[in-house]
Amino acid sequence: MPASGETRALRWDSRPYSAGNGVLVDRPGRLYCARMVMQGTGNAQQVAVLRDDTTATAGAGAPLLVLDAMNGSPDDWPKTPVSVAFLHGIKVEWVGTATAAVFVGWEPD
């Protein structure tokens, strides 16, 4: 964390749905921004569950944030700033089949 009054640029990582479930960040830190963008037609929907985990085990790790997007609202920006500490890393688990990607802004501990 920066000293009082000091600012630092966030680190950014992303993962597309086509790459499947997987690790976005592989070390402890703090999540400040998360966004999911989706491309779909008809009644498409996509959910991304961000977990505090760096394993390939589905459902392992505490949920940090759930991002949800559907055809009528393809961008999912948090309405309030996010500040969530994670102990292991950030893993994304996809629930849905629409083409999407997740972007996270974070800083290491």
Task: Walk me through the domains of the chain, giving residue ranges and CATH numbers.
Answer: 13-108 (2.60.120)
Joined tokens for residue 55: 């394993």
Is the torsion defined by CA of 96, 102, 106, 109 positive or negative? positive
- Sign of the C-alpha dihedral computed for residues 66, 100, 51 and 89 taken in this order: negative
Give how far the C-alpha of residue 33 lies from the chain's centroid of Cα atoms, to the nearest Å: 8
pTM, rounded to two decimals: 0.83
Instruction: Summarize the confidence of residues 77-87 as an average pLDDT.
Output: 77
HEC states along 12-79?
A: EEEEEHHHCCEEEECCCEEEEEEEEEEECCCCCEEEEEEEECCCCCCCCCEEEEEEEEECCECEECCC
pLDDT digits (tens, 9 = 90+) for 25-78: 999 999 998 888 887 777 778 899 999 999 888 889 999 999 888 766 656 555
